[in-house]
Each structure stands twice: as structure tokens, then as C-alpha cells.
Amino acid sequence: MTTKQGSGGAASATVSPGLVTTETGELHRAIDWRGAFWVAAGVPPLVLFSIGGIAGTTGKLAFLVWIISMIMGFLQSFTYAEIAGMFANKSGGASVYGATAWLRYSKFIAPLSVWCNWFAWSPVLSLGCAIAAGYILNSLFPIPAADSQMVIDWVTANASALTAESPRVVEWLGANAGKTAQDAMTALLT
């Protein structure tokens, strides 16, 4: 951290090349390549976790979906940058900017908008972790195919444990109304 003399005679502190405070306590609207790198570093994990799902759902249109998504993200980045410039003395992202905008209309809605933003983003964090864990587990311990020898051996060894009262049989009967327990056991063992 270095200190230099400001234009009004007051000292201002330079925290990093991309983050400079002025005499008024506001941030400059400037960013260097290191700051841009760390801003962009948060995007690839979410993109990587959703590539398989998008490609599996849309097939050959996945390329078009990603082009449209990139354009929307690019425009959204400029929108957030403009909002951040309007509220240069605030930090906290979209939720804080929304709350600041709502303050003049309602003192109740402003903090509610912050909580709603984080309430909406919380599932994204847990789902991202669950998807990442699934990818890691599947890469280390792949799920065997249904017709693999390992699965056939397991089914043969555990076939005697399958009874009419087994949870899997009851589950199958619930999904296939009008069938018997014997039909369920036959279907589950084949």
C-alpha cells in the first residue's frame, strides 16, 4: 500500500493498481487486466458445470444457446458496470444497488430486495457444488453400465433380499398402477 498526495492536499491511498480511493471515498471507474481477470474468474465454473446439461437438452442448438447467452452476459456486464458507476460509494453488487434504488419508495422493500436476491442465489451455490461433486465422483468412480458383469453379479447376490414389502417394489408398484408385486420383482431383477 502506497500513499500519495492528492490534488486537494489530502493523502489518498492506493490499495492495488485496479482499486484506488479518492479524497471523497469513492472508487475510480478504472480496471486493469488483473482486476478483469479476477472478475472473469468466477464465470468458468458455472459455465463448465452446465455445458453437459445444455448440450444434452438442446443437442446441436447448444452452440446457438451459448452464443445468445454470451451476448446477454456481455450486455449485462455493461449494465452492471453503469449501475456500479452511478453508486460509486456503495459496494455489494446488484442486491445493494437494487436496495439503494428502492429506498426512496419504501424503507421495507429496500432490505427485502437484498434478502430476495440472496435467497434466489443460495440454490445456485448448492446446486453448483452438487453438480461439481457429481462430476468428480463420476470421474473417480464411474457408474457401471446396467449390463456390466459387476451389476449382474450384485443383482444375483441380492435377488433373494427383494420381497413384496421391499421399498423398491412398493416404489415400482406406485409408478405402475394395476401391476402385482410379482410383476415388480420380475421387472426389478431383469
169 versus 90: which is more confidently predicted? Answer: 169
What secondary structure letter does DSSP report for 60?
G
Strand, helix or coil for residue 5: strand
- Residue 112 buriedness (CB in 10 A; 0-12 / 13-18 / 19+): middle
What secondary structure letter does DSSP report for 28?
P
- From CA 10, how far away is CA 4, in angstroms rounded? 9
Residue 5 pLDDT > 70: no
Cell of 186: 420380475
Least reliable range by pLDDT among 4-13, 39-48, 97-106, 111-120? 4-13
- The band of 160, judged by pLDDT with boundaries at 50, 70 and 90, is confident
- From CA 179, how far away is CA 160, in angstroms rounded? 21
The confidence score (pLDDT) of residue 147 equals 87
The confidence score (pLDDT) of residue 103 equals 87
- From CA 105, how far away is CA 48, in angstroms rounded? 40
- From CA 138, how far away is CA 122, in angstroms rounded? 25
Are 19 and 1 in contact, with CB atoms under 8 Å apart? no
CB-side neighbour CA atoms (13 Å) of 85 = 9
Cell of 80: 452492471
pLDDT, tens only, 75-86: 888 888 888 888
The pTM is what?
0.43
- How many residues are recorded in the chain? 190
Q: What is the mean pLDDT of the chain?
A: 79
- The band of 19, judged by pLDDT with boundaries at 50, 70 and 90, is low
137 versus 35: which is more confidently predicted? Answer: 137
